Chain A
Amino acid sequence: MAAARAYDEMYRPDAAVRAPYRGFESWLAEQSAEAMRDKRAEADLVFRRVGITFAVYGDQDADGSGTERLIPFDVIPRIIPAAEWRKLEAGLRQRVKALNAFLHDVYHEQAILRAGHIPAEQVFRNSQYRPEMHGVDVASQIYSHIAGIDVVRAGAGEFYVLEDNLRVPSGVSYMLENRKMMMRLFPDLFARNKVAPVAHYPDLLLNNLRSVAPQGVDEPTVVLLTPGMYNSAYFEHAFLAQEMGIELVEGQDLFVRDNAVWMRTTRGPQRVDVIYRRIDDDFIDPLAFRSDSSLGVPGLLSVYRAGRVTLANAIGTGIADDKSIYPYVPAMIEFYLGEKPLLANVPTHLCRKKDDLAYVLDHLPELVVKEVHGAGGYGMLVGPAASREEIATFAKRLRASPDNYIAQPTLALSTCPTYVESGIAPRHIDLRPFVLSGREVTMVPGGLTRVALREGSLVVNSSQGGGTKDTWVLER
């Protein structure tokens, strides 16, 4: 079982405490179990009162409104030493730069396809490729202004990029609220450990969004477009809009007139320049994409293509974070930047290739198989945790539509001590740092650490029972 030999973030194999955790570990040893239980209860209470909840698709309360749930929060932080973070940060910046260069290229000259580094049909036959974007010039040639890159640590402690999230990555509000909660519950911990702050993220984000306003707009009006309060990430939308002091708008609040986007206000229409949209491409303009969408703004795409409004992220970024494109990211880095990749990819089998498919079908019990367009941990198979029947069913699906799947070796994701029913036990974690790209690339140290709370589970998604932890980058 993977858990037995996984790299533990706090303890070395000989049970000694790793250096970055020493301060925390000695502090924890001084706390009584009872005091810690009270603190954990307090955290739950505060999260509920503050309304830091997420809506669950499909679930309904007795009164018919959607169910709101707390994402379990674990009070043991995940700690990253400064030197390790510096390496990670450099690798993430490099990766996102290359991904943005790829997006610009693939909607313009397509040099990387012509050079033969990526098969052209991989791009053009992909439903995430948006022909509408071909030849459209976006501000600063940036497509993914906000990227969430999922990173895991495996083997002897080396980092791998598990996936890139370049469309509407979420989770940053939990990163910020987790820190706020830790500082509230354990102020003395922060006096003893030099933890790099993250609270200025909304400032960086606003600055980033302002920097990509359409040409000629000096004082841009920035808004955040949400699908509405029943969306699972609504808390985050409202939180970020408030932190940045911008309007939180729904599709119905916006309209297109005279080749510009406006919002309906109590004093009449007001021009909008930058839209931080948290709605998928498919729903953003019923005239251009799904006509049954009531969430979007009719006519938005034509204003966007004319360069008279900025969408962050751009339309069509899905072509770069698609799991079938993922294996080519190291090639992108070399092609566009002329550099060696600083962060490793997980070796990936593309099931659309005959040899790969045969290998995958032979090795299903050891592999993780994912849907190419899937997200949120839905529709995936974790071989070592699956029953015989589950594997057999999955193999049938795989044979029926191999193009739809990729497979990767089951990584022994690193573990971090975590509060569970029986006390403290190691649980698998990942990390989602957020990379902001505009006129420059900015980041806050750390990111969101997600933890799989079920013993042995490798699925950290909140929709699948995952929790979160505060993520500390130590300043020294």
Chain B
Amino acid sequence: MLSRTADHLFWMARYIERAENTARMLDVNLSTALLPQSAEEAERGWRAMLGISELLPAYDARHAHLSKRDVLDFMVRDPNNPSSIFNCLQSARENARAVRGAITTEVWETHNGTWLELQRLLHERLPERDPQQFFEWVKFRSHVSRGVTIGTMLKDEAFYFVRMGTFLERADNTARLLDAKYHGAEDTRELFADPGAEGIDHHGDFYYWAAVLRSVSAFEIYRRVYRNVITPARVAELLILRGDMPRSLASCINEVCLNLEMVRNASSNETERRAGLLRAELRYGRIEDILGQGLHSYLARFLERVNDLGGRISQDFLVPLAVH
């Protein structure tokens, strides 16, 4: 298939996934903000939210203060923020429009419909009136777009590039979400000081980690898998290493590898090797070792490697220097 087409498909999938994950992160922050907390704590939460997406400088350039209202506005509808939900859904739709011949009518209409409805919802000020309902809508539209992709598209290259985009983006976003606590806290080492401990130090942590689980639809899964109280170490294990947890890093990287194999070409060996190595480490890794080296430094390294994979996929498939 055309490299440009593959590029649009890859980014179409990444943008809708990013919109979903932004909605998830905002949602978790809104729920934790409902807990009794000091103004400083609340501000720290919003700062963390921006920090994990590397958007603090952009936000500070536009707003003098950190407030829930301004952060929501910035992350939801600000056209100048390239990661706002508005921009993500618009970019997903523009990428789909550029290749509407390569996707099914249903996939195109889903992205177009999402974009049209978004404009209506923004006009009706739904994100301001009822942010949680708005975030539910974003998640739902992302579910629909994935479902219609799986349900209608031929399993050919186009499909594999869409899936690769989805899982690469999700790996990135889950890692950032897990790292959020680090961006907000002054010092997080004590959070994981005793990974085997059964209890949790104070109530705040329970609610925080429960919210993290909920944000990735993993609260019920946690209960089923562990049948035990919530500890940060188990949450980390679930979201990093559990291969059967659909938003875990292990699961995402596994999917990246599977789809990468399907589109393999003459120059993609090294990319496959790096992705495979990462998959093996996640499959055979232990949470104790990860926490031992420090969760934040582990996740930072992981994000670097995901970024490297994204760059290599672009180079191998999407913008090949075909003329020699």
A255 at the interface (CB under 8 A from B): yes
Closest residue of chain B to A237, judged by CB?
A: B101
Point out the residues of chain B lying under 8 angstroms from A48, CB to CB: 116
Whether B109 is near chain A, meaning CB under 8 Å from some CB there, is yes
> With an 8 A cutoff between CB atoms, is A183 at the interface?
no
Contact with A along B96-136 (1 / 0, CB 8 A): 01111110010011001100100000000000000000000
Q: What residues on B are CB-neighbors of A63 within 8 Å?
A: 79, 90
Contacts of A234 in B (CB 8 A): 97
> Is the CB of A354 closer than 8 A to any CB of chain B?
no
Chain A, 72-123, CB within 8 A of any chain B CB? none
- Minimum C-beta distance from B18 to chain A (A): 18
Would you call B306 an interface residue if the criterion is a C-beta within 8 Å of the partner chain's C-beta atoms?
A: no
Contact bitstring B74-104, A, C-beta under 8 A = 1, else 0: 0000010000000000100010011111100
Do A266 and B3 touch (CB < 8 A)? yes
* B266 interface residue (CB < 8 Å to A): yes
User: Measured between C-beta atoms, what is the minimum distance from B66 to chain A in Å?
Assistant: 26
| Interchain CB contact (< 8 A) of B2 among A51, A239, A255, A263 | A263
Given A242-B101, A247-B5, A265-B3, 7 new contacts (CB under 8 A) = A228-B98, A238-B97, A263-B2, A264-B322, A268-B265, A268-B320, A269-B322
Q: Scan B1-40; emit 1 where CB is below 8 A from any A CB, else 0.
A: 1111110000000000000000000000000000000000
**A49, B116: Cβ atoms under 8 Å?**
yes
Is A267 in the interface zone, CB < 8 Å from B?
A: yes
Using a CB–CB distance below 8 Å, which chain A residues touch chain B? 48-51, 63, 65, 228-229, 234, 238-239, 241-242, 247-250, 252-253, 255, 257, 262-269
CA of A239 to CA of B79, assembled, Å = 30
Give Cα distance in the complex from A82 to B13, angstroms: 49
Measured between C-beta atoms, what is the minimum distance from B79 to chain A in Å?
5
Q: Identify which of A65, A238, A266 contacts B1 (C-beta below 8 A).
A: A266
B157 at the interface (CB under 8 A from A): yes
**Number of residue pairs spanning A and B whose beta carbons lie under 8 angstroms apart:** 75
In the complex the two chains form, is A229's CB within 8 Å of B322's CB?
Answer: no
Pairwise interchain contact A248-B1, C-beta atoms closer than 8 A: no
Interface of A: prevailing SS: mixed
Given the known A-B contacts A63-B79, A241-B101, A257-B323, are A252 and B4 also in contact in the complex, defined by CB atoms under 8 Å? yes
Partner of A266, one of B79, B97, B101, B265: B265
Report Cα–Cα, A267/B3, bound state, in Å.
8
How many Å lie between the Cα of A264 and that of B322 in the bound state?
6
B322 neighbours in A (Cβ, 8 Å): 255, 262, 264, 268-269
B100 touches A255 (CB 8 A): no
Give chain B residues whose Cβ lies under 8 Å from the Cβ of A241: 101
Q: Is B263 an interface residue, CB under 8 A from the partner?
A: yes
**Which B residues lie within 8 Å of A269 (CB)?**
322
Contacts of A51 in B (CB 8 A): 97, 100, 108-109, 112
Chain B, residue nearest A48 (CB): B116
Which among A49, A253, A262, A267 is the interface contact of B109 at CB below 8 angstroms? A49
- CB pair B4–A264 under 8 Å, yes or no, is yes
Residues of B within 8 A of A252 (CB): 4
Residues on B facing A (Cβ under 8 Å): 1-6, 79, 90, 94, 97-102, 105, 108-109, 112-113, 116, 157, 161, 263, 265-266, 317-318, 320, 322-323
The answer for the CA separation of A25 and B113 in the assembled complex, in Å, is 35
Q: Which residues of A contact B109 (CB under 8 A)?
A: 49-51
A239 to B108, CA, bound (A): 12
Shortest distance between the CB of A241 and any CB in chain B (Å):
4
Chain B's nearest CB lies how many Å from the CB of A236?
Answer: 11
Say whether B4 contacts A253, CB under 8 Å.
Answer: yes
Q: How far is the CA of A268 from the CA of B263 in the complex (A)?
A: 12
Contact A229 B320 (CB under 8 A): no
Which residues does chain B contribute within 8 Å of A248, judged by CB atoms? Answer: 5, 99, 101-102
Q: Contact check, A247 vs B2: say whether CB atoms are below 8 A apart.
A: yes
Check A229 against B2 for contact (C-beta < 8 Å): no
Contact B100 A253 (CB under 8 A): no
**CA distance in complex: A262, B99 (Å):** 19
16 contacts between A and B (CB under 8 A): A51-B108, A229-B94, A234-B97, A238-B100, A239-B101, A241-B101, A252-B4, A253-B4, A255-B323, A264-B320, A265-B2, A266-B3, A266-B6, A266-B318, A267-B265, A268-B266
CA distance A364 to B322 in the complex (A): 57
Q: Are A249 and B2 CB-contacts (below 8 A) given A257-B323, A266-B265, A268-B320?
A: yes
Q: Which residues of A contact B79 (CB under 8 A)?
A: 63
Complex: A248 Cα to B220 Cα, angstroms: 45
Flag if B100 contacts A242 (CB, 8 Å): yes
User: Which among A49, A255, A257, A266 has the highest number of chain B CB atoms within 10 Å?
Assistant: A266
In whole angstroms, how far apart are the Cα atoms of A242 and B109 in the complex?
A: 14
Q: How far is the CB of B16 from chain A (nearest CB, A)?
A: 16
Contacts of B323 in A (CB 8 A): 255, 257
Contact at A266–B157, with CB atoms within 8 Å?
yes
**CB closest residue in chain A, given B110:** A49
Listed residue (B1, B2, B318) with the most chain A CB atoms within 10 angstroms of its CB: B2
10 closest cross-chain pairs (CB), A and B: A242-B101, A241-B101, A248-B101, A264-B322, A266-B317, A238-B100, A238-B101, A264-B3, A51-B112, A266-B6
* B283 shortest CB reach to chain A, Å: 28
State the CA gap A183–B157 with chains docked (Å).
Answer: 34
Distance between Cα atoms of A421 and B239 in the complex (Å): 59
User: Given A50-B109, A51-B112, are A253 and B2 also a contact pair (CB < 8 Å)?
Assistant: yes
Residue of B nearest to A252 (CB): B4
When C-beta atoms are compared, the residue in chain A nearest to B265 turns out to be A267
Q: Which chain A positions have C-beta within 8 A of B94?
A: 65, 229
Distance (Å) between the CB of A67 and the closest chain B CB? Answer: 13
Complex-state Cα separation, A327 to B109, whole angstroms: 46
When distances are taken between beta carbons in the complex, the residues of chain A under 8 Å from B317 are: 266
* Residues of B contacting A264 in the complex (Cβ-Cβ under 8 angstroms): 2-4, 320, 322
A255–B3 Cα distance when bound, in Å, is 13
Nearest residue in B to A257 (C-beta to C-beta)? Answer: B323
The answer on a CB contact under 8 Å between B265 and A49 is: no
- The answer, among B1, B100, B112, for a CB contact under 8 Å with A49, is B112
Closest chain B CB from A159 CB (angstroms): 35
List, in ascending order, chain B residues with CB within 8 A of A250's CB: 4
In whole angstroms, what is the CA distance A48 to B112 when docked? 9
Cβ–Cβ < 8 Å partners of B318 in chain A: 266
Docked CA distance A51–B108 (Å): 9
A241 to B98, CA, bound (A): 12
Q: How far is the CA of A239 from the CA of B97 in the complex (A)?
A: 11
Docked Cα-Cα span, A267 to B105, in Å, equals: 25
Contacts of B266 in A (CB 8 A): 267-268
